[in-house]
């Protein structure tokens, strides 16, 4: 917290209550505790079912994992059908491809210890809960995906978000002053964004430490959606305006969040940076993906 914040908190008791009271940022991407019990034994993959003609990891997902996620996702599997990241689909034929589009955010590197898909089922994320058997089943699928990826098979497709991480350029980011403008943006009655999101609480990072923000959002797919996300079909990257609109307009479940206007100088800087990044992409000037 910088000097400005100390001053702010000294004079505005509402802001102090905002951070010390019940409205506390969590430690990850959305509500709920981080960390997952990765100690369970991972059973050998046995696809079975009626999908024996497709790759084992895909069969494991379709037969075993998809029903678990569907029932954990309330109400009636409707969550994340359009809500970013939109990884749930009613069409079983496209279910595997749909979740794969979001692999960076849901299961980076197929690692169960950091997988939001697993962590968010521990009970702290809008009531989504997995049983211990569910966790073992999801881990078995991720283990198979990892084997396939190592063998050069599935999971090797570079997502639009991964590609974008290499197209983002630090000099452009600094020149547009994106980080500080968001850090200093005010959420009504609760202080500036960085008062609570300095370290990336709830998957949104806002800090005057411009380089740190750049490094975090370009290397951590859970933090990239602070500012950018993929379109529903996964083909391109857009500014994550929908998420900011929801929070700034205090739509459910963000009723207790301080209101803010999405548009303004911070959004303009973000838009300029976005345009510069698209230009780099079109000109073939991207670095390799950073995650
Ligand atoms: C007083 C602390 C505080 C301040 C100041 C604050 N936030 Fe938050 N923010 C939170 C908390 C707590 C959550 C999680 C609860 C929620 O989503 O409403 C959150 C969640 C978010 C999320 C993620 C919502 C999701 O999808 O789960 C975004 C995006 C966000 N804030 C943006 C901002 C922006 C932009 C500002 C500045 C204009 C800001 N916040 C200022 C406390 C704060």
CA pseudo-torsion sign 269, 274, 275, 279: positive
- Per-residue pLDDT tens for 164-221? 999 999 999 999 999 999 999 999 999 999 999 999 998 899 999 999 999 999 998 8
For residue 264, what are the CA distances in angstroms to 50, 268, 271?
Answer: 53, 6, 11
| Residue 139 in contact with ligand 1 by CB distance below 6 A | no
**Structure confidence by residue, pLDDT tens digits, 229-263:** 888 777 889 999 989 999 999 998 899 999 999 99
Atom 17 (ligand 1): residue with closest C-alpha?
A: 254
pLDDT in tens, 117-136: 999 888 888 878 899 989 98
Alpha carbons 213 and 206: distance in angstroms, whole number = 7
Find the length of the chain. Answer: 291
Residue 89 to residue 57: CA distance in whole angstroms: 18
Cα(162) to ligand 1 centroid in Å equals 25
Residue 42 clears pLDDT 90, i.e. is over it: no
Cβ(274)–Cβ(239) under 8 Å? yes
The two three-digit tokens of residue 144, written as one number: 């198979």
Q: Check if the beta carbon of residue 134 is closer than 8 Å to that of residue 78.
A: no
Averaged over 20-40, what is the pLDDT? 36
Six token digits for residue 109: 């590197």
CB 88 within 8 A of CB 70: yes
pLDDT in tens, 141-150: 998 888 888 8
CB 238 within 8 A of CB 93: no
- Beta-carbon count within 10 A of 152 CB: 8
Q: Are the CB atoms for 260 and 187 separated by under 8 Å? A: yes
Q: How far is the CA of 261 from the centre of ligand 1 (A)?
A: 13
Contact residues for 89 (Cβ-Cβ < 8 A; gap 6+): 81, 95, 98
Distance, in Å, from the CA atom of 49 to the CA atom of 102, rounded to the nearest integer, reads 25
Ligand 1 pocket, residue 124 CB under 6 Å = no
Measure 184 CA to ligand 1 centroid, in angstroms. 13
Q: Whose CA is nearest to atom 2 of ligand 1?
A: 196
Establish whether residue 194 lines the binding site of ligand 1, counting it when its CB lies within 6 angstroms of any ligand atom: no
What was the pLDDT predicted at 54? 56
Ligand 1 centroid–CA 80 distance in Å is 19
- Ligand 1 atom having least distance to the Cα of 31: 14
The rounded distance, in Å, linking the Cα atoms of 286 and 149 is 24
Nearest CA residue ID for atom 10, ligand 1: 25
Ligand 1 centroid to residue 247 C-alpha, Å: 7
């Amino acid at each position: 917290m910088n000097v400005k914040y100390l001053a702010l908190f000294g004079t505005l008791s509402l802001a102090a209550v905002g951070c010390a009271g019940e409205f506390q940022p969590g430690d990850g991407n959305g509500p709920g505790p981080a960390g997952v019990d990765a100690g369970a034994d991972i059973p050998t993959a046995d696809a079975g079912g009626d999908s024996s003609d497709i790759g084992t990891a895909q069969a494991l997902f379709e037969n075993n994992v998809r029903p678990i996620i569907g029932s954990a996702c309330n109400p009636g599997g409707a969550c994340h059908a359009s809500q970013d990241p939109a990884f749930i689909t009613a069409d079983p034929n496209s279910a595997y491809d749909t979740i794969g589009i979001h692999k960076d955010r849901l299961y980076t590197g197929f690692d169960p210890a950091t997988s939001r898909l697993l962590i968010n089922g521990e009970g702290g994320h809008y009531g989504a809960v997995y049983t211990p058997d569910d966790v073992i089943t999801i881990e078995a699928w991720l283990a198979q995906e990892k084997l396939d990826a190592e063998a050069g098979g599935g999971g090797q497709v570079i997502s639009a978000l991964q590609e974008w991480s290499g197209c983002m350029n630090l000099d452009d980011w600094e020149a547009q002053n994106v980080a500080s403008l968001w850090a200093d943006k005010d959420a009504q009655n609760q202080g500036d964004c960085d008062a609570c999101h300095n370290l990336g609480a709830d998957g949104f990072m806002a800090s005057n430490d411009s380089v740190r923000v750049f490094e975090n959002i370009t290397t951590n797919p859970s933090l990239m959606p602070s500012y950018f996300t993929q379109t529903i079909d996964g083909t391109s990257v857009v500014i994550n305006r929908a998420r900011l609109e929801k929070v700034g307009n205090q739509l459910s479940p963000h009723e207790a969040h301080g209101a803010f206007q999405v548009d303004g100088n911070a959004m303009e800087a973000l838009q300029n940076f976005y345009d510069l990044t698209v230009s780099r992409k079109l000109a073939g000037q991207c670095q390799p993906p950073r995650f």
